[in-house]
């Protein structure tokens, strides 16, 4: 569907851990109809940084380019940062 395609965003997610380790980058696709927890991961981590208790530990990142799913199980106490690099579709036809 055309409406489905226009809502598609392509993310590259990197998780920084205490001690300097890095997980990723993970390619992940998100749309309103399909695909994973990309936005939920960012929302949950942001809420955690603002003092809320962590509610979720498992996140699924759907990569439609390789038809795979990355499952991340994270303890936010060990996470120092989340980078969500979003590649937007060009609206320019020419």
Q: Quick check: pTM over 0.85?
A: no
Letter string b/e over residues 44-61, b meaning 16 or more CB atoms within 10 A of that residue's CB:
bbeebeeeeeeeeeebeb
- In angstroms, rounded to a whole number, what is the distance separating the alpha carbons of residues 90 and 67? 23
Find the length of the chain: 94
Q: Which regions of 18-66 does DSSP assign to beta strands (E)? A: 22-30, 58-63
Domain limits, the chain: 2-87
Give me the tens of pLDDT residue by residue for the chain, a chain 94 residues long: 344 445 567 899 999 999 999 999 999 887 766 667 888 999 999 999 999 999 999 999 988 888 999 999 999 999 999 999 987 766 655 4
């Amino acid at each position: 569907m055309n409406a489905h395609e226009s809502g598609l965003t392509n993310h590259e997610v990197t998780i920084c851990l205490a001690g300097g380790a890095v997980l990723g980058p993970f390619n992940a696709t998100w749309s309103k109809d399909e695909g994973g927890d990309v936005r939920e991961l960012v929302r949950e981590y942001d809420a955690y940084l603002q003092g809320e208790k962590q509610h979720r530990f498992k996140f699924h990142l759907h990569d439609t380019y390789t038809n795979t799913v990355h499952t991340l199980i994270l303890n936010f106490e060990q996470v120092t940062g989340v980078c969500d690099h979003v590649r937007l579709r060009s609206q320019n036809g020419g």
